[in-house]
Each structure stands twice: as structure tokens, then as C-alpha cells.
A and B are shown apart, each in its own frame.
Chain A
Amino acid sequence: MALPSYTETRYRIWHYFYLAICAFVFFFLIAPLFVIFPLSFNAEEFLVFSEGMKNLDPDAFSLRWYKDMIYGTKNPWGLAAKNSFIIAIFATIGSIILGTLAALGLSSRHMPYKGIIMATLISPMIVPLIISGVAIFFFMAKVGLAATHTGIVFAHIILGTPFVVITVTATLSGFDHSVTRAAASLGSNPVNTFMKITLPLILPGVISGGLFAFVTSFDEVVVVLFLAGLENTTIPVQMWTGLREQLSPTILAVATCLIILSTLILISAELLRRRSERLRGINR
């Protein structure tokens, strides 16, 4: 953003000041993530940069904590990772199915009470997690699903569907309904029309909603803390316990893996968003 040559000095100064503020904010946003990365290769047991690390001494770095994360005898990370993935995958599938169906209904112009129903469907995203946690815990305890994978999957479907509803509704807002009518007039039944025409067109929205649901489930700790027994521990629960009790660098190794995972998810989400905008004919 180059300034025009006629800019007065005071605006020039103001402009650089503004850029400096922006630089600071971007640094504030992103820098904390990068502090984890080097520390996870620390050879020592403390969560501070040792003198050796500051001098870039190769002996001060090691893969010790990564080995501990994978091979550590008492380490719960293996079980936690397995649980996290199983729960997140099932929760994502459930959220996608329920959320996409609901979004299809909501985008129909015949839908009665659209406003209030939409507000209800989105509410799990707005209601503080601690309240959701208490309410879901009461329910799961009553039906005997507390401390089971099923219970946690249901809880995460509740928390994940709003994201699918929002993204799919957004995708459908630019959807040309005449294509489905065309399919119907050519003799296609509704299911076939959905699978062959609608779904491919809204797929980017469905997948990006699914990514949100996956991340929500994979990252969720408040509700799981209420629901989980020892057997259902997940990565966030383990991190929570670790951060509260003893900060071991193994957590940083796990955190580094999670940052890499979120980077991958970010890239796929961005690609999907661009594809979706292209499909909907939004050019910028």
C-alpha cells in the first residue's frame, strides 16, 4: 500500500505508525505459536530456553520428548490420540449428516418459523461451554451414557452441528435452485437429484463445515471433562491435566504435532473456501 507522493508529512508518519501497530498485532497473534516449536526439542526438563539453546548448541536440542510421547511407558497419549480421533470422526459424520439435512430444509423458502429454528440450531455455539457441559452431563448421566464414547460423540455432535448448518446454509444461499428443478423435470427422483446435482455443488461447504466440526470435537475439553472417565481420555483432556499438574515438555511435543495438524486443516479449509467461491461465481 504505497502512499501517493503528495502525502503530507504528518499523514506519512501516521501511516507508518499504523503499519507498526499492525505489525505488532500480527506478531502478537502468531508469535506465541512459534515459541512452542523450539522448546519441544529441549534436551532439558524445564520449559525455559536453556543457555545452550540460546547459543544454538546442538547438544541442547534432542528428540527426547517426542520419543517420550510415543514410547513413554506411563504415557496416556496413545490412548488419548486414539480416542480423540475415533470420537472426532464419528462426531463429524453425525454433524455433517444432521447439519446438512437441516441446512437444506432451512434454505427452502417454504420453511416455517425460520428465524427461531435457526436460532435454536445455532445456540450450542453461543451458549457458554460450561453450561452446555452441565446440561449434557445431566442428560447423559440419566440415560446412562456418561463415561462412554457414545455419550461424548453425541455431545460433540451437538456442539459441531451449528458449524455445518452455518457453512452449508451459506453455500446454499448462492445455490441456483433451477438446476434441481431441471433434474426433476428430466425424471430424476429427489434422492438421485440430491446425490448427483445438489451434493457436488454444496460439497465444499459441507466439507468445510465438517472440518469445523472435526476441530471442535478434537479440541473440545470442557464437556469431555464432565463426561469422560479414565477410559475416554482425549488429547485435550490429557493436555489440560498436564498443564494443571506438571508442565512436562512432552506436552510441547504434542502441541507441536497439533500445530502441524491445524496448519494442514487451515490449508484444506482455505482451498475449499476458494473452490466454493469459484463454484458460486463470487469473483474478487
Chain B
Amino acid sequence: MSSENKILTTDGIPLEVSLKKAERKNKIKAFVLVAPLLLFLVITYIFPIGEMFTRSIDDKMITNMLPKTFKEMEKWDGKELPSEEVFAGFYYDYKALVEKQEHGKLGQRLNKEKNGFNSTTKRLFRNIKRKKIDESASIKEQMMKVHKNWGKVEYWQAIKRTAPPYTLAKYLKGMDMYYAPDGSIAQVDEDRRIHRILWLRTLEIAFFVTLFCFLMGYPIAHLLATLPMKYSNLLMICVLLPFWTSLLVRTASWMILLQQQGVVNDFFVMIGLVADDNRPEMMYNKVGTYVAMTQILLPFMVLPLYSVMKTISPSLMRAGKSLGGTPFVAFWKVYFPLTIPGIGAGCLLVFILAIGYYITPALVGGASGTLISNQIAFHMKQTLDWSFASAMGLMLLTGVLVIYWIYNKLVGVDNIKLG
């Protein structure tokens, strides 16, 4: 286009340029509005989650403790006993640690890698303290005299394994696997695979809670959507009141209901389902977790279903029936397919919430009803193995983000409805 044909604004600037400028200004304006929250979240939330990742793979402790050793080890083939230089490197590194009084930590950490390291390093420590090692002679021979383990190649291989500053060991531990001495990945003994059981149980409970919520939520969402306004508003309170009530209050009420002398058991005894002296344990196991979580998460299923069903015109069902379908066929062929977006939204939301549940399982779940979240909390608070807790947390997060991504594709986060 030649310059004469361009439409000019009153200032003499081509309209195209002027429009682009205005658009850019609007873009910046919109972004400036979002920026405070975005910045706040990135600093206080997104970034710390990233830090969880570095914490979960961090294994710099030994790397920093034995710099000379690892430098010399670069030339070592890892098959035969290392050379004098490696021994000397380790000796001087260890001596420095002794001066800083950090040798104990090294011994403990190496002991995790290979049993017997604690006593092996302690023997070396005592010899250094008593100045029994002659630094002008061969350190290799003296160290092997101090403890016979220094003459075994497996011990040096164990040290070499700790050389990389990063490790995936915590992630393997989360899946009940570990690095075998030869560096390959091995499975833990079958009777000690606790984490895999927990992952499977978390998935199982999240799946069934979602299923129960769907089976219970669909009929009432349908009823709420088809009843006249004045009745449905009243019944909606039954859905919204639990939704707005404190999670702990709802959990507390289930603890009262489900205990052995509780109302549910009283009722079972009354109708003669169970004997008074043989009341079943309904709390501190999976039953308690299922019942309480289903009731607590049910509103999250009903609300999306309701908002979709509300938009389906009742004349569609009438049309289906008038065209010769039985009510069941009309429902199955006409109504049900139209509610699938709501089903998707509700199920994904409930599943996402259920998979990360912590409070309710911890209170009513007992030992057999706890989930992966409880294990993460346990490592954060009891064992203080924060890097393991971070690794497990990120494994859980990955799963949730995949579902969130699907949810975003199917429903769109901006279509989430509240209340």
C-alpha cells in the first residue's frame, strides 16, 4: 500500500500505527492490573514449589564435603582399588571435616550408602586425632592398616556414588525402589513396599469417592434442576449449607456418628442389623474415610452438574418421548449426553480434591484409611525428611496437574462455577 492511500488520524499519524499503539497501551494496562497478584503468587507460591524440586533432588552435602576426593576420583575407573591420590584426597578432606567437627555427618550419610561406614570412618577419626598418620609416607597403606574396609573396593564405589550433587533417590524411595550398590535400580522387599500401597490406596479412594459422589449427586442435581424454583431453592440449602460449613465441623460430626456407641451403630442395633455387643468398627478405617469424604465432597459434584442441567430445556425430553422413546430411552439418548460436560467438570473437581485430602483421612481414617498426603505431613513433621516430603509432594502434584490440564482443556478454568 502506498503512503497516500493510508488513512490518517487528525494528528497525521497513519491510523494503523495509531491503532497498534492504542492496542499496546491497552495490553499494558490490562497486564499492570494482573501484575500485582501474579508477582505475589510467583514469589510466595510458584517459586517455593520450584524450590521443593531442588530440595527433593539435592544431594550436595557430600559433594561439598569431599571436593578433593571427587576431583581425584574422576581418573579412577571404579573397578579396582583407587590410587594413592584418591586415598590422599579423601584423607585431607576428612581431616578438614574433623577440624570443623563435621565428620560425624559424613559417616552417617555414607553409612546409609553402605553399612559399616560409620565404624570405618570413626577408626580413621581416632587415628587422625592421635596424629598417628604420617603424612609423608603412603597414606593408602596407612589407611588400609587403620581399617580393613579401606582396602575393599565396594566402599570406594559407595563414596563415588555420592559424588553427583543431584540424586533421584528420594523419588525412587517414593516408589519403593532404591539404587543398588552396582548403580542399578532395585525394588524394595515385598513386605516393605509401603509407599506403593499408599499411592494405590489414594487412587482407589479418590476413584470410589468420585464414583459415589457421582451416583448420589446426579439424581439430586437432576431433581434440583427440574423442580419449580420455590422448592429447589429450599432443597439447595441442603447442598449449600454443608458446602459453607467448616470442614472440621463436618468431620467432627462424622466422628460422632460413626463411633462404636454412635448414632449410626445405635440405629443398626435398633433395626436388628447388628448385635449390641458386636458393634462394627466404622471409624478409623476405610469405611469412615469413604463415608465422610463422600459427604464432604458431594456439593462439589452437585453444583457443576446443576449448573449444566439448568440449561437443558425440558422440552427436549418431551420431544424425545413424543417421538416414541420410552422415558428411559429419552433420558439415555437425549438428556444424559447433554449433561456430560457437567459430569466431566464435577468428577474431575471431586477427584482432584479427593486425591490430595488430608484432614478427614487423618481424623477418621486410622491406619488403613490414610492417604499419600498424610505420609507427606508425617515426613514434614515427624521424621523431618523434608527432601523426601518434597519429592512425594511433587509426585502427587504432577498427577494433579495432569488432571488439571485435562480439566482446563475440557471445561476451561474460567468456567468454574462457585455457588
Asked whether, in the complex, the Cβ of B55 is within 8 Å of the Cβ of A111, the reply is no
Asked whether, in the complex, the Cβ of B252 is within 8 Å of the Cβ of A139, the reply is no
Asked whether, in the complex, the Cβ of B52 is within 8 Å of the Cβ of A121, the reply is no
Asked whether, in the complex, the Cβ of B47 is within 8 Å of the Cβ of A47, the reply is no
Asked whether, in the complex, the Cβ of B40 is within 8 Å of the Cβ of A98, the reply is yes
Q: Does B227 contact A (CB under 8 A)?
A: yes
Inter-chain CB contacts under 8 Å: number: 272
Interface string of B162-204 (1 = CB under 8 A from A): 0000000000000000000000000000000000000000000
Q: Classify the interface of chain B: helix, strand, loop or mixed.
A: helix
A138–B255 Cα distance when bound, in Å, is 33
Determine the residue in chain B with the shortest Cβ distance to A21: B219
Contacting B at CB under 8 A, from A147-186, are 154-155, 157-158, 161, 163, 165-167, 169-170
Asked whether, in the complex, the Cβ of B298 is within 8 Å of the Cβ of A29, the reply is yes
The interface residues of chain B lying within 8 Å CB-to-CB of A80 are: none
The interface residues of chain B lying within 8 Å CB-to-CB of A244 are: 362-363
A11–B329 Cα distance when bound, in Å, is 12
Which residue of A32, A33, A158 has the most chain B CB atoms within 10 A of its CB atom?
A32
Determine the residue in chain A with the shortest Cβ distance to B32: A105
Which residue of A108, A117, A124, A135 has the most chain B CB atoms within 10 A of its CB atom?
A135
Asked whether, in the complex, the Cβ of A139 is within 8 Å of the Cβ of B48, the reply is yes
Known: A219-B247, A243-B363. A49 touches B414 (CB 8 A): no
Interface string of B270-286 (1 = CB under 8 A from A): 00000000000000000
Q: Does A1 contact B (CB under 8 A)?
A: yes
B387 vs chain A, min Cβ distance (A): 11
A241–B245 Cα distance when bound, in Å, is 19
Q: Does A36 contact B (CB under 8 A)?
A: yes
Asked whether, in the complex, the Cβ of A262 is within 8 Å of the Cβ of B30, the reply is no
Asked whether, in the complex, the Cβ of A258 is within 8 Å of the Cβ of B259, the reply is no
B206 vs chain A, min Cβ distance (A): 11
Asked whether, in the complex, the Cβ of A135 is within 8 Å of the Cβ of B41, the reply is no
B34 vs chain A, min Cβ distance (A): 4
Known: A25-B219, A167-B418. A32 touches B250 (CB 8 A): yes
A94 vs chain B, min Cβ distance (A): 9
The interface residues of chain B lying within 8 Å CB-to-CB of A117 are: 34, 38
Contacting B at CB under 8 A, from A235-265, are 236, 239-240, 243-244, 247, 251-252, 255, 258-259, 262-263, 265
A18–B119 Cα distance when bound, in Å, is 72
Known: A28-B216, A30-B241, A120-B41. A11 touches B327 (CB 8 A): yes
Q: Does A112 contact B (CB under 8 A)?
A: yes
Asked whether, in the complex, the Cβ of B32 is within 8 Å of the Cβ of A33, the reply is no
Q: Does A90 contact B (CB under 8 A)?
A: no
Q: Does A231 contact B (CB under 8 A)?
A: no
B254 vs chain A, min Cβ distance (A): 6
Asked whether, in the complex, the Cβ of A154 is within 8 Å of the Cβ of B242, the reply is no
The interface residues of chain A lying within 8 Å CB-to-CB of B246 are: 218-219, 236, 239, 255, 258, 262
The interface residues of chain A lying within 8 Å CB-to-CB of B389 are: 134
The interface residues of chain A lying within 8 Å CB-to-CB of B26 are: 108, 110
Q: Which of B23, B44, B241, B400 contacts A136 (CB 8 A)?
A: B44
Asked whether, in the complex, the Cβ of A111 is within 8 Å of the Cβ of B45, the reply is no
Known: A32-B257, A270-B240. A221 touches B220 (CB 8 A): no
Asked whether, in the complex, the Cβ of B373 is within 8 Å of the Cβ of A130, the reply is yes
A270–B390 Cα distance when bound, in Å, is 40
The interface residues of chain A lying within 8 Å CB-to-CB of B385 are: none
A267 vs chain B, min Cβ distance (A): 9
Q: Which of A33, A39, A118, A255 contacts B241 (CB 8 A)?
A: A33
Asked whether, in the complex, the Cβ of B31 is within 8 Å of the Cβ of A129, the reply is no
The interface residues of chain B lying within 8 Å CB-to-CB of A56 are: none
Q: Which of A122, A138, A226 contacts B52 (CB 8 A)?
A: A138
Q: Which of B4-12, B148-156, B353-361 sits within the interface? A: B353-361
Asked whether, in the complex, the Cβ of B40 is within 8 Å of the Cβ of A111, the reply is no
A166–B413 Cα distance when bound, in Å, is 9
Asked whether, in the complex, the Cβ of B235 is within 8 Å of the Cβ of A121, the reply is no
A184–B229 Cα distance when bound, in Å, is 40
Q: Which of A25, A36, A49, A121 contacts B253 (CB 8 A)?
A: A36
Asked whether, in the complex, the Cβ of B44 is within 8 Å of the Cβ of A139, the reply is yes
Q: Which of B36, B240, B295, B394 contacts A102 (CB 8 A)?
A: B36
Q: Does B396 contact A (CB under 8 A)?
A: yes
A270–B244 Cα distance when bound, in Å, is 11
A76–B46 Cα distance when bound, in Å, is 34
The interface residues of chain A lying within 8 Å CB-to-CB of B363 are: 240, 243-244
Asked whether, in the complex, the Cβ of B30 is within 8 Å of the Cβ of A239, the reply is no
Asked whether, in the complex, the Cβ of A252 is within 8 Å of the Cβ of B252, the reply is yes
B238 vs chain A, min Cβ distance (A): 4
Asked whether, in the complex, the Cβ of B41 is within 8 Å of the Cβ of A35, the reply is no
Q: Which of B45, B244, B418 contacts A135 (CB 8 A)?
A: B45
- What are the 9 closest A-B residue pairs judged by CB atoms, nearest first? A128-B356, A105-B33, A105-B34, A108-B30, A110-B26, A135-B48, A139-B48, A102-B37, A32-B253
What would 8 more interface pairs be, CB under 8 Å, given A28-B298, A243-B255, A263-B244? A33-B242, A35-B263, A48-B259, A105-B29, A105-B33, A135-B52, A158-B44, A255-B248
What are 22 inter-chain pairs, A to B, with CB distance below 8 A? A18-B223, A21-B219, A22-B223, A29-B298, A32-B257, A35-B253, A48-B259, A48-B262, A101-B33, A110-B30, A111-B34, A127-B49, A130-B396, A131-B397, A134-B393, A135-B45, A139-B45, A167-B418, A244-B362, A244-B363, A247-B252, A273-B419
